[in-house]
Amino acid sequence: MNCSILSRTFIKSTKNIGVLFFVCLAIFLLVISCDDPLPPDPPPVSEPDVLTQLESLSGVKVTEITPQNGYIRQFEILFSQPIDHNSPERSQFKQKVYLSHIDVDAPVVFMPSGYSTNPITVSQLSEILRANQIYAEQRYMSTSNENPSDWQYLTMQQTSADFHNVVSQLKSIYKNVWLSYGASKNGIAALFHRRYYPDDVEAVFTKVTPFSLGAEDPRYEKFLNTVGDEFARNKIKAYQRALLKNRTKILPLIKNYMINSNLNYTVTEDVILEFETCEFEFSFWQTTDRNVSKIPDSTASAEELFSYLADFGYIPYYSVDYVKFFEPVYYQAYTELGWYRLVNDHLKDLLVTFENPSWSYFAPKGVPLIFKPEVIPDLIDWLQTDGDNIIYIYAEEDPWTAGALENVGGTNALKIIQPNANHLIDLNTLDQKELVFATLFDWLGISPTQEKKIISNEININKSVSNRGINNQPITIFTLINWSLK
């Protein structure tokens, strides 16, 4: 091979090597660039703190308080509500609501109250479901009683509109399943709320909730004439007569009780004696263990007769604060919700202060009490045609059971009457507990596995309220309300 050919071959090969070099370099740089880490994902957008979310609601004032009953956080919320929802531009009041918070993704037990509210009460259902609890007071009760002259706006339709506003706003934060719960008068509040705003909650659980068909419904009197046995009923009546026969000795004892209490009274001792005597029969069956052997015989001393009556704990009920507290309750009883008559036919010859004692005596003074007989029947009719997903629990020996919903119509509602129980019935004692909660969980979409776990826990509740009739501890009317909420 001559030199010129060799030279051309070398130059050509050199050029090929250069091309190859740059190709390899490009591939190398590409590989290196692929090994570089990708830029980090942006941090997840976290939900605003629940307090911030609450404060963003319309017309509210929020205060975080020390949580009770094992809740993670707790808030007192004041909702601005129109006194008349038909004219919302007019004056307003502040409705107090206590929110016990676990998690915004947890279920919600909504408790529309027929009374006031407090931060310490937790319902059994709230504990069973490990749920957030929203406990809303009724207008004109407690701090909401800012406009007592506007009694005409204390109606179940107006109170239901209050509760609807609370639910509507808080649902923007708590988006899991909602259940409402109420016992006794609170149950009526829950059912009226359901009737007027059926889409606010998925289900309703009520306990010992009566439907009274008159200002003084005679069905309660008929119940008292048949409850228990004849011996028990006669023992109660004999005790009532003994109280009034010993009037002159018992009145000073009541007076002394009033003087030594830390409460103020404007009613006199003779008013208390006659009301408490007439009321005794109803209260005995409502709240005690129904053991008449504890009732003093008619031959007992005045001191023994009075001591047993005082142990009931109802005398403070006649103090200024209690009378004021219950004015809205009696207004509702004698205008829409109905009540019971103080049976006194067997006491007529011994009554001095009142010919016919009636709880209307403690309703707001100077305010017309015009009963609207259509309100409760309208609720009953709706419940029997449209009241799906509702549980009604009653107690066999509770006088209020005389006002129980007679049938659930064509709905899927469940009604049970627990034997040998009274107004303070505990969900733990239900003979058909598994049926009750299986039904409820089915409505709420709770899985069978979770359902079995909850039921097997035997609804392990730490009770803070005692039943006087069971362990002889005093029970006040506020204690009764607090217990009935559970």
Quick: pLDDT tens for 435-450: 999 999 999 998 655 5
The residue-averaged pLDDT of 3-26 equals 43
What's the rounded Cα separation, in Å, for the pair 470 and 15?
107
The residue-averaged pLDDT of 231-258 equals 97
pLDDT of residue 45: 46
Q: Name the pLDDT band for 146 (thresholds 50, 70, 90).
A: low
Q: Can you say how many angstroms the Cα of residue 179 is from the centroid of all Cα atoms in its chain?
A: 11
Q: Is the dihedral of CA 333, 465, 476, 430 positive or negative?
A: positive
Residue type at 372 in one-letter notation: K
The two three-digit tokens of residue 283, written as one number: 């209260």
Question: Is the pLDDT at 454 greater than 70, yes or no?
Answer: no
Residue 212 and residue 318 in contact, taking contact as beta carbons nearer than 8 Å: no
What's the rounded Cα separation, in Å, for the pair 318 and 301?
24
The residue-averaged pLDDT of 365-383 equals 97
Whole-structure pTM value: 0.85
The residue-averaged pLDDT of 342-366 equals 95
Strand-pair partners of 182: 206
Is 369 exposed, middle or buried, given 0-12, 13-18 or 19+ CB atoms closer than 10 A? middle
Which one, of 236, 345, 239, 322, lies nearest residue 282 by Cα? 236
pLDDT of residue 147: 60
Question: Is the pLDDT at 480 greater than 80, yes or no?
Answer: no
Q: Name the pLDDT band for 342 (thresholds 50, 70, 90).
A: very high
Tens-digit pLDDT profile for residues 54-74: 999 999 999 999 999 999 999
pLDDT of residue 432: 96
pLDDT of residue 475: 37
pLDDT of residue 313: 75
Task: Output b/e per residue, 384-407; b: 16+ Cβ within 10 A.
Answer: beebbbbbbbbbebbbbbbbbbee
Mean pLDDT computed over every residue of the chain:
86
